[in-house]
Amino acid sequence: MKKPIILTADDDAQVLAAITRDLRQEFRSDYRILSVGSGAEALATLTELRARADEPLALVLADQRMPEVEGVEVLTRARELFPEAKRVLLTAYADTTAAIKAINSAQLDYYLLKPWDPPEQLLYPTLHDLLASWQASYRPAFAGLRLIGFQWSPLSHELKDFLSGYMVGYQWLDYEKDAEAKVLLEANGFKAEDLPVVICPDSKAVAKPDKLDLARHLGLLVDAQQELYDVVVVGAGPAGLAAAVYGASEGLKTLIIERQTPGGQAGSSSRIENYLGFPTGLSGAELAHRAWSQATRLGAEFMAPQEVVSMCIQDGYKVLTLSDKKEIKARAVVLTTGVSYRVLNAPGLDRLSGAGVYYGAARTEARSCSAQPVYIIGGGNSAGQAAMYLSTYASRVFIVIRGESLAASMSAYLIEQIAQTPNIEILPCTQVREACGQQSLEAVVIQQEGHEPEKRPARALFIFIGAKPSTEWVCHLALCDPKGYLLTGRDLVADPRYKASWKKGREPYLLETCVPGMFAAGDGRAGAMARVASAVGEGSMAIKFVHQYLDE
């Protein structure tokens, strides 16, 4: 944080020089002194300062008799933009009546008569008192990235999730609730229709930013640095991060590509309590960030947010094409693309997606549910972890499941925790029939088996209804099971299409697909166990087979 500012404005050059000299003589060690020669220039300076967060305004001194814009108008504007700053009017003896009236109209803190000689008696004591009062009540402004938007805007939700996924500290300002949001928007030359707006720490402001551009500004790697990699890992869930850690640590030129944020579905888990070595548990985001930091420290390149849309084989090399048409060449590839939540088909869900209806945990929206009811659809561990997390904010958390109990799909420790949490209620044999609301979710229509549909108020609906593999872009190249999961190893050998697709003189390695040198690990692989620990194990094993393939 830079030094606080003292701003003074006077159209009389001699008076301005004198007040600037006296202020610098007494206060320059602790404050930065800014001087402007007109009221209009003072207003422009106030607006410019408000657009930044690294230079707080402590005091404004403005002469009353300035052409076009009087001192009272400058101080009134200063109060609007910097309500905590102290405001002093410089005036001649003949204008004292106007100054006294302005104390009430513009809420001045003080007025000073010209001349103020000697300043040791007529200027400094007053300003020291005012600045001491400002220092006592001043709270430094947030100096990091700020995001201004509407609470129920899907794009605002996407940006919040993106920033949280990369553990970028940011301040969320709701345009409809936070007065500062409107002031910052105006100061940066934007209007409500431009939202959401991101204001970076260097004061650069961008409306409706593209995530790729935002990633560049945050210093994330968005372009490959090598012409050829030993191994490219596609997907940064637990399996992909483990593969990147082991690949880099064993000297392979390793690149990991992620289209969203690190951690995959596990990254959105509010609490993982059954992962080895963490007896008190840890969040999925924390686990992902630790692994990401470890992989990059060991030399892996982490490229995001970038999406691989196709792959082809050229002379044994794997050529991956990104969504921006750029190509990356690798000797071997590890596919850890994971799975995505299935879309629930019911009236209103698609329209309100991102505005009260969320697929996955959406931890960034938990505080907006404070003291209000929320609904969760699904009975797996992710749903249970989300329920426990949301129970600390919401008035009631309802878990909607089609079955009679959670026992078939959720870990015992989570079922026990849910049973001991008084504001979580399980709704068995129940389905959500409709989501209701204009701009955001207001209610859900649920129906229990054998009963009539019932409309209930709801602030948010979180959906965890199973998953589908993210393998559409590679199914033309590799063999998949009927559900789209990649076949590897012995499962591949047992498939009737195996002999027509596999032409090597050896059998495929345990995690190898029908394309030699292309491996699959984690939830997108047929037969994989949907657990973080098993995904980490498979990602690590994949690198062993990459070594064996490269040695050929």
Q: Using one digit for the tens of pLDDT, what is the confidence trace for 85-117?
A: 999 988 876 666 766 766 766 678 888 888 888
Burial (0-12, 13-18, 19+ Cβ within 10 Å), 348? buried
How far is it, in rounded angstroms, from Cα 403 to Cα 45?
Answer: 64
Residue 145's SS3 state is: strand
Percentage, residues of the chain above pLDDT 70: 97
How far is it, in rounded angstroms, from Cα 461 to Cα 442?
Answer: 10
Q: How far is CA 398 from CA 302, 395, 446, in A?
A: 38, 10, 11
Cα Rg of the chain, angstroms: 30
SS (H, E, C) 449-474: CCCCCEEEECCEEEECCCEEECCCCC
**Average pLDDT value over all residues in the chain:** 91
Residue among 227, 229, 210 nearest 218 (CA)? 210
Q: Which pLDDT tens digit goes with each residue over 391-415?
A: 999 999 999 999 999 998 899 999 9
Q: Which pLDDT tens digit goes with each residue over 41-63?
A: 999 999 888 877 667 899 999 99
Q: Which pLDDT tens digit goes with each residue over 132-174?
A: 999 988 877 777 899 999 988 999 999 998 998 888 889 999 9
Q: Which of 61-70, 207-216, 321-330 has the highest mean pLDDT?
A: 321-330
Q: Using an 8 Å Cβ cutoff, are 535 and 528 in contact?
A: yes
Q: Which of 128-142, 215-229, 387-401 has the highest mean pLDDT?
A: 387-401
For residue 364, how many C-alpha atoms fall within 13 Å in the half-sphere facing its CB? 30
Residue among 551, 548, 488 nearest 514 (CA)? 488
Q: For the residues 179-189, what does the mean pLDDT come to?
A: 88
Q: For the residues 462-472, what does the mean pLDDT come to?
A: 88
pLDDT for the residue numbered 105: 67
Judged against a pLDDT cut of 60, whether residue 341 lies above it is answered with: yes
pLDDT for the residue numbered 142: 75
pLDDT for the residue numbered 252: 97
Q: Using an 8 Å Cβ cutoff, are 240 and 261 in contact?
A: no
How far is it, in rounded angstroms, from Cα 505 to Cα 154?
Answer: 52
Q: Which pLDDT tens digit goes with each residue over 530-552?
A: 889 999 999 999 999 999 999 98
Judged against a pLDDT cut of 90, whether residue 427 lies above it is answered with: yes
- The one-letter code for the residue type at 375 is Y
pLDDT for the residue numbered 200: 87
- Total count of residues recorded for the chain: 552
Judged against a pLDDT cut of 90, whether residue 17 lies above it is answered with: yes
Judged against a pLDDT cut of 60, whether residue 201 lies above it is answered with: yes
pLDDT for the residue numbered 531: 87
pLDDT for the residue numbered 368: 86
Considering only residues 466 and 122, tell me which one the structure prediction assigns the higher pLDDT.
122
Per-residue exposure over 453-465, b if at least 16 CB sit within 10 Å of its own CB, e if not: eeeeebbbbbbbb
Considering only residues 195 and 141, tell me which one the structure prediction assigns the higher pLDDT.
195
Hey, which bits of 307-355 come out as E strands?
308-314, 317-322, 327-335, 339-341
Q: For the residues 340-369, what does the mean pLDDT come to?
A: 88
pLDDT for the residue numbered 481: 95
Q: Which pLDDT tens digit goes with each residue over 257-295?
A: 999 889 888 877 778 888 888 888 888 888 999 999 999
pLDDT for the residue numbered 24: 95
pLDDT for the residue numbered 394: 94
Question: What DSSP assignment string belongs to 163-224?
Answer: HHHTT--EEEEETTT-HHHHHHHHHTT--GGG-SEEE-TTS-EEES--HHHHHHHTT-B-S-
pLDDT for the residue numbered 102: 67
Residues 6 or more apart from 442 whose CB is under 8 A from it? 356, 436, 457, 458
pLDDT for the residue numbered 240: 97
Q: For the residues 513-536, what does the mean pLDDT come to?
A: 94
Residue among 25, 84, 26, 80 nearest 59 (CA)? 84
Judged against a pLDDT cut of 80, whether residue 493 lies above it is answered with: yes
Judged against a pLDDT cut of 90, whether residue 217 lies above it is answered with: no
Q: Tokens 């300062």 appear where?
A: 49
Phi then psi for residue 181, to 5 deg, are -60, -45
Q: Which two tokens stand for residue 269?
A: 């888990």
Q: Using an 8 Å Cβ cutoff, are 398 and 376 in contact?
A: yes
Burial (0-12, 13-18, 19+ Cβ within 10 Å), 267? buried
pLDDT for the residue numbered 418: 95
